Chain A
């Protein structure tokens, strides 16, 4: 098992070494997943198994210096993509694409905690836009809105400033999305896109965030495809009540395709998800309604070409997904663990226009089921959040921004990790 072969450099409790000592920590994780889905293209029922989200991560802190990285090995285990009806992006349709080998590799500097704190990070990683990486949220399956509510694996410089409960982030990055797991971003496109995110950290583990991004030609690597204007708003709540931990996220996102300043297509997403855990055992639910552009499929009906040959699309499909998950007791062995889980989803696909893409014709039905069972393996430290850096990463008002990522500082849904 890949996860077992990965070297864990050392294991530390980052919260105990916030601003002085050198702290190096590492970990690895993966999910063994078995999925059955009905109503895939041409009304086929498919059952597939794979190792998804295999990752190794490390964090280093030395005084003001920070470094963090995540290697993602889906390029080896998930070439054909993970079966996930409604999902799209990076040339995959109805399958979630494999992520880049270098999912994140950022270095940064962070000022000491205080009334006003700042951080600057640079490297390949997450753009300050939208919600956390779905990999650290309760469901193994990605939401349809992944490409509407996150921007990742870009060459990015992120500056963050925190004053009391308010964090402001700004970034510049390359607009082109990855073309495959191994091809690096085009360095010459660094700086052609930018984003802003503001976050208000409230009491009782609440945070309210709003994001805006101006992304240059994400789907045409050479830089002359449609641009995107993206907005996202979310409310996140985490906390503990006695033996229970809780997590909830509400988000709304809109992406508008732009051609030389002219708005063409707009895609909306609404998502709510929540999890409650008692120890290792937990339940989670997610409701989502997201728009998806329909594009010309290739010989492999789970793929589409980038870029499209012109400015047209085949229609917009609205995907509504209601999902539930159960996390079962996990087995711990020293620093390693194995945590079984089950997910089920009811999915509906609705045509929003009279354009040619008809879900009923293509899938044979407008309603599908997905049932998944799996085991999350982990060793070493566990990321509680991914997608924020430096002073933007903290949640508690009283202890702002201690880390590049959050490492179990709020055990909001650890039963799903």
Chain B
């Protein structure tokens, strides 16, 4: 592991002003292009600032108080092996540190534990691993351990962190890999009770007919698993009353989402409407990274966990969704939408009752169109045809601001929808 540190150099007008320290190259975009928000339409989400990274494609974002962490993907002018650490206290994110994770081509996911003590990073592809960092000094993470096993060999696509029965676990989604000893995609659960010595406690291969698991969502002892063409499954890992545990989950429900390609999930605990809905991101195609994407948000009614059903959807023409972050206090879901930037949806209340004109029937399933229902309440980063190309991977709400990781440009700090 090599540690690289740099200083934020110059504050440009409307720009973050952070040198891409990894290569010393200057930024390739300017916040000024979107600072006005003028092209974003009536429901624009204003930009507060940005931190630009030009040497690598930015991937996921996680935020802890005034520190944000972004990972990197693939090869641009350097491998996607850099974890960037940003000071986001001010308007403009400042790059204050970075860590190179050896042997990785992509750091596809990053997450912070609920106590703020640990940061976990997923590494791809072959010889994939889970890297655990100590956040005693949040601005300068220190590697605590690295779990690389036969189960993680194909590559760790995503890593979520959460508690089951008070103990900390990481949930890993493992890539499929042709010709590998175990070519199937799989879910691996890792006990982080002793973060210096992470320990696999469960692994389950995904049937090749599905054929991927891309992401999971852990909450209240239930694990929502996105199983691509198979839709989603809900596992009892300790909170479902079916006897499931972290080391022996029990599948209690499933549903095939329309169109498949189920990528990510958020189980909403809304302050008003409760825990009735789960939102599933569809990562479909065709998609050329940087310019195009496809895939809707699917809304599932999970009030009966054993029999979830799809009740609504949200569609953006010529764009597809990726990861979510939800303001559960105000009932607003923010979705990364790749080339369409960021979208904000009002997800409070009944999402499955709508007029016939707001309904779409696919096969024998009738769903409400959230767009037609006027549930879209905000667009950010070019969603209205802005001039700056963006390709937003992830979003994270923290401290009253919305952070968006943009593969092409870096990290954006946005206002939230009021």
The yes or no verdict on A and B being binding partners is: yes
Contact surface of A with B, Cβ cutoff 8 Å? 176, 179-180, 183, 219-225, 259-260, 264-265, 296-299, 301, 305-307, 309-316, 353-356, 361-362
Q: Which of B161-177 contact A (CB under 8 A)?
A: 175-177
User: Closest chain A residue to B77 by CB distance?
Assistant: A361
Q: Quick check: B125 and A298 within 8 Å, CB to CB?
A: yes
- On chain B, the number of residues with a Cβ less than 8 Å from chain A's Cβ atoms is 47
CA distance A225 to B185 in the complex (A): 13
**Is B191 an interface residue when CB atoms closer than 8 A count as contact?**
no
Among B282-290, B323-331, B340-348, B398-406, the stretch that binds chain A is B282-290
CA distance A406 to B56 in the complex (A): 52
User: A298-B125, A305-B125, A354-B290 are contacts. A224–B285 as well, Cβ < 8 Å?
Assistant: no
User: Closest chain B residue to A362 by CB distance?
Assistant: B75
Among B41-49, B204-212, B303-311, the stretch that binds chain A is B204-212
Q: Which of B192-223 contact A (CB under 8 A)?
A: 208-212, 214
Q: Quick check: B290 and A315 within 8 Å, CB to CB?
A: yes
User: Closest chain A residue to B75 by CB distance?
Assistant: A297
CA distance A183 to B181 in the complex (A): 12
**Is B389 an interface residue when CB atoms closer than 8 A count as contact?**
yes
B257-271 interface bits toward A, Cβ cutoff 8 Å, 1 = contact, 0 = none? 000110100000000
Interchain residue pairs with CB less than 8 A apart (10): A222-B176, A222-B208, A296-B74, A298-B105, A305-B155, A307-B178, A309-B212, A310-B285, A311-B283, A356-B76
CA distance A201 to B365 in the complex (A): 54
Q: Quick check: B209 and A309 within 8 Å, CB to CB?
A: no
B277-298 interface bits toward A, Cβ cutoff 8 Å, 1 = contact, 0 = none? 0000001111111111100000
**Is B57 an interface residue when CB atoms closer than 8 A count as contact?**
yes
B387 to chain A, nearest CB (A): 13
- Point out the residues of chain A lying under 8 angstroms from B157, CB to CB: 309
Q: Quick check: B289 and A314 within 8 Å, CB to CB?
A: yes
Q: Quick check: B105 and A299 within 8 Å, CB to CB?
A: yes
A222-B183, A296-B73 known; 20 other A-B pairs, CB under 8 Å? A176-B178, A221-B179, A222-B178, A225-B211, A260-B260, A264-B286, A297-B74, A297-B105, A299-B79, A305-B155, A309-B214, A310-B214, A310-B261, A311-B286, A312-B288, A353-B288, A354-B291, A355-B290, A355-B291, A356-B289
- Point out the residues of chain A lying under 8 angstroms from B73, CB to CB: 296
- Point out the residues of chain A lying under 8 angstroms from B244, CB to CB: none
CA distance A353 to B291 in the complex (A): 8
User: Closest chain B residue to A306 by CB distance?
Assistant: B178
Out of B74, B175, B261, B389, name the residue touching A311 (CB < 8 Å): B261
- Point out the residues of chain A lying under 8 angstroms from B77, CB to CB: 361
- Point out the residues of chain A lying under 8 angstroms from B179, CB to CB: 179-180, 183, 221, 306
CA distance A413 to B291 in the complex (A): 46
- Point out the residues of chain A lying under 8 angstroms from B183, CB to CB: 221-222
CA distance A138 to B288 in the complex (A): 36
- Point out the residues of chain B lying under 8 angstroms from A313, CB to CB: 287-289
**Is B184 an interface residue when CB atoms closer than 8 A count as contact?**
yes
B164 to chain A, nearest CB (A): 26
CA distance A176 to B260 in the complex (A): 23
CA distance A265 to B286 in the complex (A): 7
Q: Quick check: A224 and B210 within 8 Å, CB to CB?
A: yes
Contact surface of B with A, Cβ cutoff 8 Å? 57, 73-77, 79, 103, 105-106, 124-126, 155, 157, 175-179, 183-184, 208-212, 214, 229, 260-261, 263, 283-293, 389, 391, 407-408
CA distance A238 to B356 in the complex (A): 67
Interface of B is mostly: loop
Out of B74, B105, B124, B125, name the residue touching A314 (CB < 8 Å): B74
CA distance A183 to B75 in the complex (A): 29
User: Closest chain B residue to A183 by CB distance?
Assistant: B179
- Point out the residues of chain A lying under 8 angstroms from B389, CB to CB: 354
User: Closest chain B residue to A355 by CB distance?
Assistant: B288
Q: Quick check: A312 and B293 within 8 Å, CB to CB?
A: yes
B78 to chain A, nearest CB (A): 10
A305 to chain B, nearest CB (A): 5
B277 to chain A, nearest CB (A): 25
B385 to chain A, nearest CB (A): 15
- Point out the residues of chain B lying under 8 angstroms from A298, CB to CB: 105, 125-126
B90 to chain A, nearest CB (A): 30
User: Closest chain B residue to A299 by CB distance?
Assistant: B105
User: Closest chain A residue to B157 by CB distance?
Assistant: A309
Out of B103, B211, B284, name the residue touching A224 (CB < 8 Å): B211
CA distance A315 to B261 in the complex (A): 20
- Point out the residues of chain A lying under 8 angstroms from B291, CB to CB: 353-355
CA distance A310 to B211 in the complex (A): 10
B179 to chain A, nearest CB (A): 3
Q: Quick check: B105 and A179 within 8 Å, CB to CB?
A: no
List the 7 shortest-distance A-B pairs measured between CB atoms, nearest first: A311-B285, A179-B179, A224-B211, A222-B208, A355-B288, A312-B287, A356-B290
B393 to chain A, nearest CB (A): 12
User: Closest chain B residue to A259 by CB distance?
Assistant: B285
- Point out the residues of chain B lying under 8 angstroms from A355, CB to CB: 288-292
- Point out the residues of chain A lying under 8 angstroms from B106, CB to CB: 296
Q: Quick check: A179 and B178 within 8 Å, CB to CB?
A: yes
- Point out the residues of chain B lying under 8 angstroms from A315, CB to CB: 288-290
CA distance A305 to B174 in the complex (A): 14
CA distance A225 to B176 in the complex (A): 10
- Point out the residues of chain A lying under 8 angstroms from B57, CB to CB: 356
Q: Quick check: A310 and B283 within 8 Å, CB to CB?
A: yes
Q: Quick check: A220 and B211 within 8 Å, CB to CB?
A: yes
B280 to chain A, nearest CB (A): 15
Q: Quick check: B290 and A311 within 8 Å, CB to CB?
A: no
CA distance A309 to B226 in the complex (A): 14
CA distance A220 to B175 in the complex (A): 12
B206 to chain A, nearest CB (A): 10
CA distance A264 to B287 in the complex (A): 8
CA distance A334 to B75 in the complex (A): 52
A285 to chain B, nearest CB (A): 33
B254 to chain A, nearest CB (A): 18
User: Closest chain A residue to B391 by CB distance?
Assistant: A356
CA distance A296 to B291 in the complex (A): 16
CA distance A316 to B126 in the complex (A): 24
B232 to chain A, nearest CB (A): 16
B336 to chain A, nearest CB (A): 14
CA distance A114 to B157 in the complex (A): 60
Out of A222, A296, A306, A310, name the residue touching B184 (CB < 8 Å): A222
User: Closest chain B residue to A296 by CB distance?
Assistant: B74
Q: Which of A222, A225, A316, A361 has most B Cβ within 10 Å? A: A222
User: Closest chain B residue to A316 by CB distance?
Assistant: B288
CA distance A361 to B183 in the complex (A): 33
User: Closest chain B residue to A315 by CB distance?
Assistant: B288
Q: Quick check: A361 and B74 within 8 Å, CB to CB?
A: no
Out of B155, B184, B229, B407, name the residue touching A356 (CB < 8 Å): B407
Q: Quick check: B178 and A219 within 8 Å, CB to CB?
A: yes
User: A224-B209, A305-B125, A355-B289 are contacts. A311–B284 as well, Cβ < 8 Å?
Assistant: yes
A257 to chain B, nearest CB (A): 8
- Point out the residues of chain A lying under 8 angstroms from B126, CB to CB: 298, 305
Q: Quick check: B211 and A222 within 8 Å, CB to CB?
A: yes
- Point out the residues of chain B lying under 8 angstroms from A223, CB to CB: 208-209, 211
Q: Quick check: A220 and B176 within 8 Å, CB to CB?
A: yes
CA distance A60 to B286 in the complex (A): 48
Q: Quick check: A224 and B288 within 8 Å, CB to CB?
A: no
- Point out the residues of chain B lying under 8 angstroms from A265, CB to CB: 286
Q: Quick check: B286 and A301 within 8 Å, CB to CB?
A: no
Q: Which of A180, A297, A306, A311 has most B Cβ within 10 Å? A: A311
- Point out the residues of chain A lying under 8 angstroms from B286, CB to CB: 264-265, 311-312
